[in-house]
């Protein structure tokens, strides 16, 4: 199995687009792709997608080293799990301050390695992660509290039950390149707080950001508890073969391979595999907020976001007002300044192909268009089209293209949204919020936002999840602990009797008791139930005396 860190994007004829951001204060107008950008000289890029400048060297981990790292992590995990949740939280709490203190370092590294504007890097990769650490360290003690199971005192006398949330053990974490700091931390922090060890493989496109994430925990954790491994698909496969659960964010094709291997090993996996997110604009939508929100939702990180708006279904009644405003706002954006450059030439090729095939099918380009050959500065592009049988509306583009389709009202829009094989997020834009809530319940997506889009992945308390080919993993919120822990049931028996009712020997008295219980619990009419109670009163003492 080859587990490439190919980001989260739908496959286009076997291609697996990638997910990452880069950011720089002053970006060149036309960054150009070089062979090294896609790791031709090894598993790691050696040049920035911004301007081709050299990036620091990265040492790859040999797949043969992974088992030893896993063993060391397991040893560290035993003592770590023995600590209380509050003790673990006190160890990890300083990570918040470290993130904030290193804000510029984080933003500038993400900018250079991914091509994302520094402002986006700070807002998406720094501030929400400080909040994430605070949320989990404050809440983990309560979230890991056990629950009590009540027993019928007649059938199960003297029994007390408790359900504990036990750590899985070793979490294998494989993350993409589009949000190379935020996405790993969404799993690392709650996984560690729940008592797990983590074997972390960042994308081979953004290994330096991955190393920075690991460095945030240096000197805080027991040695080996968080193990960083760097490399390509062979290293990812080694991680899957060592873990007790795999958390994977990436392409559908790779996610399927991960799921198959986890099934072979009989271990769980959590998969987030991208999206083809839609925005539904109803006839009463507020024009200015809707236009601004959709433009941001489509073009932030140059569309290299599993939650990017890649389809807009606009009610015909509002199209004449909304579409020109979308075009006007889009034309004001400058690639490299307002929007990220595309991180890899491979991804740029996919975006180019989707646009070209849409144009061949009759799509009208209202703004933007493909850049000159070799450039990664793909202009924010607005396309109007009628047909939905093109890759631009069926596959994940993962680039700065906003396709607009006119529809005949909400019912038409919902049908089209739900027809997609992806189901990550959808936004609904309208002044009638009550009606929007009704529509939300009919959408087959994991996240629905009303009059906003896509930002809730940065909210630690809100579950981030999808349906269909978007995968079935959950990050953020207490629901994520359902994957990072396993329920362990502990029964305490205070019954002092020599034997239980149902133990040997099997006798006619026991048979009489069993059927009398059935009648007493509702298997007979009123008088039958009363008679059964008297029968039990006579038979139970005989049974307890050995009858």
* Residues involved in catalysis: 272, 306
Rounded to a whole number of angstroms, the CA Rg of the chain reads 28
What are the structure tokens assigned to 282, written together?
Answer: 């109803």
Can you tell me the distance from the alpha carbon of 355 to that of 335, in angstroms, rounded to the nearest whole number?
17
Tell me, what DSSP letter sits at residue 165? E
Q: Are 503 and 473 in contact (CB under 8 A)?
A: no
Q: Are 57 and 343 in contact (CB under 8 A)?
A: no
- CA 406, 407, 409, 413 dihedral sign is negative
List Cα–Cα distances, 54 to 110, 141, 244, 396, in angstroms.
14, 45, 38, 30
Q: Largest alpha-carbon pair distance within the chain? A: 92
Can you tell me the distance from the alpha carbon of 373 to that of 396, in angstroms, rounded to the nearest whole number?
22
Backbone angles phi, psi at 73, to 5 degrees: -65, -40
Strands (DSSP E) contained in 85-213 are 147-149, 159-167, 170-174, 197-201
With helix as H, strand as E and coil as C, how does 250-295 read?
A: CCHHHHHHHHHHHHHHCCCEEEECCCCEEEEECCCCCHHHHHHHHH
Can you tell me the distance from the alpha carbon of 22 to that of 520, in angstroms, rounded to the nearest whole number?
69
What are the structure tokens assigned to 152, written together?
Answer: 């019928």
Can you tell me the distance from the alpha carbon of 269 to that of 277, in angstroms, rounded to the nearest whole number?
23
What are the structure tokens assigned to 369, written together?
Answer: 């268009």
């Amino acid at each position: 199995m080859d587990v490439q860190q190919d980001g989260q994007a739908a496959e286009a004829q076997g291609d697996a687009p990638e997910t990452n951001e880069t950011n720089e204060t002053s970006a060149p107008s036309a960054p150009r792709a070089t062979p090294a950008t896609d790791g031709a000289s090894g598993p790691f890029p050696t040049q920035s997608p911004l301007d081709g400048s050299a990036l620091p060297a990265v040492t790859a981990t040999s797949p043969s080293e992974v088992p030893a790292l896993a063993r060391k992590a397991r040893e560290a995990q035993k003592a770590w799990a023995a600590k209380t949740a509050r003790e673990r939280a006190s160890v990890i709490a300083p990570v918040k301050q470290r993130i904030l203190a290193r804000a510029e370092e984080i933003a500038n590294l993400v900018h250079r390695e991914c091509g994302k504007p520094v402002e986006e890097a700070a807002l998406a990769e720094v501030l929400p992660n400080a909040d994430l650490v605070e949320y989990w360290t404050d809440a983990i003690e309560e979230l890991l509290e056990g629950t009590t199971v009540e027993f019928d005192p007649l059938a199960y006398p003297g029994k007390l039950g408790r359900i504990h949330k036990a750590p899985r053990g070793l979490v294998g974490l494989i993350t993409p390149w589009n949000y190379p700091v935020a996405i790993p931390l969404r799993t690392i922090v709650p996984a560690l707080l729940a008592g797990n060890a983590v074997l972390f493989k960042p994308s081979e496109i953004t290994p330096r950001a991955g190393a920075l994430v690991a460095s945030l925990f240096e000197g805080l954790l027991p040695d080996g508890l968080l193990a960083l491994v760097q490399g390509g698909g062979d290293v990812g496969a080694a991680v899957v073969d060592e873990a007790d659960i795999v958390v994977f964010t990436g392409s559908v094709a790779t996610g399927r391979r991960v799921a198959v291997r986890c099934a072979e090993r009989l271990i769980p996996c959590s998969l987030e595999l991208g999206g083809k997110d839609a925005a539904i604009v109803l006839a009463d939508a507020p024009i200015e907020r809707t236009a601004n929100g959709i433009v941001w939702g489509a073009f932030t990180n140059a569309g290299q976001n599993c939650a990017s708006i890649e389809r807009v279904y606009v009610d015909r009644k509002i199209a004449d007002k909304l579409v020109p405003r979308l075009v006007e706002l889009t034309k004001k954006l400058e690639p490299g300044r307002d929007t990220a450059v595309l991180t890899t030439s491979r991804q740029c090729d996919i975006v180019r192909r989707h646009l070209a095939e849409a144009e061949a099918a009759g799509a009208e380009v209202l703004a933007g268009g493909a850049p000159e050959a070799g450039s990664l500065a793909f202009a924010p592009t607005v396309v109007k089209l009628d047909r939905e049988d093109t890759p631009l509306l069926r596959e994940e583009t993962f680039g700065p293209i906003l396709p607009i389709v006119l529809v005949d009202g909400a019912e038409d829009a919902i049908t089209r949204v739900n027809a997609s094989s992806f189901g990550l997020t959808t936004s609904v834009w309208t002044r009638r919020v009550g009606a929007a809530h009704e529509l939300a319940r009919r959408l087959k997506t994991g996240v629905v936002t009303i009059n906003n889009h896509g930002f809730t992945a940065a909210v630690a308390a809100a579950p981030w999840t999808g349906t269909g080919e978007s995968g079935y993993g959950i990050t953020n919120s207490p629901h994520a602990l359902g994957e990072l822990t396993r329920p362990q049931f502990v029964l305490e028996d205070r019954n002092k009797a020599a034997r239980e009712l149902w133990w040997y020997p099997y006798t006619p008295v026991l048979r009489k008791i069993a059927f009398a219980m059935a009648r007493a619990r509702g298997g007979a009419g009123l008088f039958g139930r009363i008679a059964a109670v008297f029968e039990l009163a006579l038979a139970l003492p005989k049974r307890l005396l050995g009858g």
